Structure 1
Amino acid sequence: MQQLPGKMPQPEPENRCPNCLYMKLEDILVQAKQKDLHLTIIFNEQWEPFLNGRIKFGLKGGELKLRLENGDIPEESRNLTGLLELSVESETGEIKNFPVPLCEITTNGSMTTPAWVFRLKNFAAVLKGSIESERLGTLNLVKQPCSVEATFEVLLRDVHLIDIEGLYAENIDLIDVNKQSITKRLIEQYLLKSKFQPYLSRMELQYG
């Protein structure tokens, strides 16, 4: 009798800047050799020590990429697309009812390398809020062993420096605006290379 595909003990997700982006991928058995993949992702602002001060940053977007070995996700089975309001909680755990960041999600890629692109679409400075256990799509396990590698990757345009403390003179208005802009751009490049490459978050599911 053929053994049903099982899920091996999975490693914990790797989130390199968990206060900025936390990602977790889970699965739910649909039927033999078929599982629904569910995504939890939390966007937020993060403070980081920098030189003699600190910086606060967040994301305006990014791309979730899946790389499948011995499995596929057909385009017609993909979910989590369109405009989405991120869920934002207060410090007491209550859901806030004021306008929250709008995130536009589009999908691309092949059946074995599907991807979801996240983009901030309203007034907010950065993406802030969560998507809780939303179905990404249905994974077909073609043969065993099968694996799913998920990475969240960002480009320079996705990185946004929100605040800087301790690096400028006390009165920031006295500093040339162009110099401020150049400094912010250099710090964003530093964040991209030192914190966000080759990926910001990674997780792997293995079967068989």
Structure 2
Amino acid sequence: MPSSISPLSQPEPENNCADCLYMTLTGIPVQPVEHPDYLEFLQPFPMPQIDLYLTLKFSQQWESLPQGRIQFGLKGGALRLRVEGGEIPYESRIMGSLELVVPTVETDSPANLPIRDRISGELDESTLDLQGNGATEQPSLNGKPNHYSICHITTKVTEENPAWIFEEERGQPVLNGWLNQVKLGTLNVSALPCRLDATFEVSRRDICLTHVDRLWSPDISRNKRAVLDRLIIQQLLERKFKPYLSRVELHYDG
């Protein structure tokens, strides 16, 4: 049986603006291929492998200010992994265009999923039935079809500390919807203990104000509005988002 990380040994995930971005990362040990007994002595000791499954929920969040409030979302961002004692081969990583599911009812959101689908940073054999094929399509719980937006994902060429760049592909103002347990890649463990630190980071250009309530006159000029938007993002939102928006750690000790 594959070894696993005890759920008790995993730090709690950090989601600093959970209404804007909710992230978890789950690791599942890969079952080694069994060989006939007479060939076992010819086979090298198999290198442990862990499949990584990502859950991301993009939405819009309200922030109260002394004289009003604002709503903001993300146009994109970067998921960065820092790995000790292992590597994630480039060819195993997810990339391309994926559908973000927009929930049709409250119970579709990750916070209301069954506990099995909300595991954060655990390697547990009980999660082996989660979407191992990396499919992104989720059924609607009320029988009605879900609506989708498209997210484009690219990956940077580095095996030790890989990164994935998320961008809205259809020209929408912000990313909206979620990916549930999509296979991110496969971690090849080369030394113990193995540590993985995943952070979702955003820059100023990734943040978009989608609604402003009672902060200025509705007939304000477009240029003044753009300046004020930039000031709010720089002075308020960047302080909330630095050094990262979300963080998950995985520990594997064999």
Q: TM-score, normalised by structure 2?
A: 0.74
Helix, strand or coil at the partner of 2:244: coil
Correspondence for 1:144 among 192, 214, 223: 192
Structure 1 match to 2:180: 132
CA distance in 1, matches of 2:181, 2:17: 20
Alignment check: 8 A CA contact 1:5 1:144 kept: no
More helix by proportion, 1 or 2?
A: 2
Residues 169-200 of structure 1, C-alpha deviation per residue, up to 9 Å, x if partnerless? 3xx11x23221111111112124421111100
Structure 2 match to 1:179: 224
Helix, strand or coil at the partner of 2:101: coil
Query: Is there any run of 5+ residues in structure 2 with no aligned partner, and where?
Result: 33-47, 109-139
Alignment check: 8 A CA contact 2:20 2:61 kept: yes
Structure 1 match to 2:21: 21
Matched, 1:118 2:166: yes
1:29-178 to structure 2, matched below 5 A, reads 29-31=29-31, 33-79=48-94, 81-91=95-105, 93=108, 94=140, 97=145, 100-169=148-217, 172-173=218-219, 175-178=220-223
Which residue identity does 2:74 align to in structure 1?
Answer: L
CA distance in 2, matches of 1:98, 1:78: 26
Structure 1 match to 2:119: none
CA distance in 1, matches of 2:210, 2:202: 17
More strand by proportion, 1 or 2?
A: 1
Which residue identity does 1:101 align to in structure 2?
Answer: S
Larger radius of gyration: 2
Query: Is there any run of 5+ residues in structure 1 with no aligned partner, and where?
Result: none
CA change 1:205–1:98 in 2 (3 A) is closer
Alignment check: 8 A CA contact 2:104 2:146 kept: no
Q: TM-score, normalised by structure 1?
A: 0.90
Helix, strand or coil at the partner of 1:178: helix
Alignment check: 8 A CA contact 1:5 1:207 kept: no
Alignment check: 8 A CA contact 2:49 2:186 kept: yes
CA RMSD of aligned residues (A): 1.8
